[in-house]
Amino acid sequence: MEITAGTLHLRPWRLSDADVVARALRDPEIRRWAPPGAPAEPDEKEWIADRVEGWADGSSPSFAIADATTGEVLGNIRVRTVADGVGEVGYWVLPEARGRGVAGHALGAVGRWALACMELSRLDLRHAAENAASCRVAQKGGFALTRLLREPSWDEENETVEVHLHTLSHA
């Protein structure tokens, strides 16, 4: 499964991406906003194997976001099925590719694809309220802010964290 979105090419992750994944999994901003449970010592080969498995069992399709001209890998976007008819999307972009619309465009394309092809009635996106760049990405991808939540924190300093829930539904 591959998606072309303007200057971006989205395609499944492969083992030859290990070096770029290793760099991403050690990036401080990507680690800062990773969902709870991210391993302290990330293993890029396990990470890629997990992505391949997500396609094999259909539970969590994920894409490497690449430059359509050069093939350079710029980021990651993944949809997980979290309940019957409900998916949740997550993403990151490598530091050198941030601030030029990569996440916003990839999110718009994957949101449309997931609603059309994964038999979902709703796609959720949650981010820490403090993560203003991710909030902007959600808006640019067409996800409406639907709820403010307070959830157990994934850092050690705070017990809870404010979270924005955005949603994309069929028009």
Ligand X SMILES: CC(C)(COP(=O)(O)OP(=O)(O)OC[C@H]1O[C@@H](n2cnc3c(N)ncnc32)[C@H](O)[C@@H]1OP(=O)(O)O)[C@@H](O)C(=O)NCCC(=O)NCCS
The site for ligand X (CB under 6 A) is made up of: 29-30, 33, 91-93, 98-104, 127, 131-134, 136-137, 140
| Rounded distance between C-alpha atoms, residue 74 and residue 56, angstroms | 24
Least distance to ligand X, CB of residue 81, Å? 18
- The helix/strand/coil state of 72 is coil
Question: Token match 């993403």: residue?
Answer: 91
Nearer to ligand X, 115 or 165 (CB): 165
Least distance to ligand X, CB of residue 130, Å? 9
Least distance to ligand X, CB of residue 23, Å? 12
Cα 6 → chain centroid: 18
Least distance to ligand X, CB of residue 114, Å? 16
Query: Going by DSSP bridges, is the β-strand pair 160-169/3-5 parallel, antiparallel, or unpaired?
Result: unpaired
Closest alpha carbon to 65 in 142, 128, 124, 9: 9
Nearer to ligand X, 132 or 145 (CB): 132
Nearer to ligand X, 37 or 58 (CB): 37
| Rounded distance between C-alpha atoms, residue 147 and residue 158, angstroms | 21
Closest alpha carbon to 19 in 131, 94, 129, 97: 94
Nearer to ligand X, 86 or 163 (CB): 163
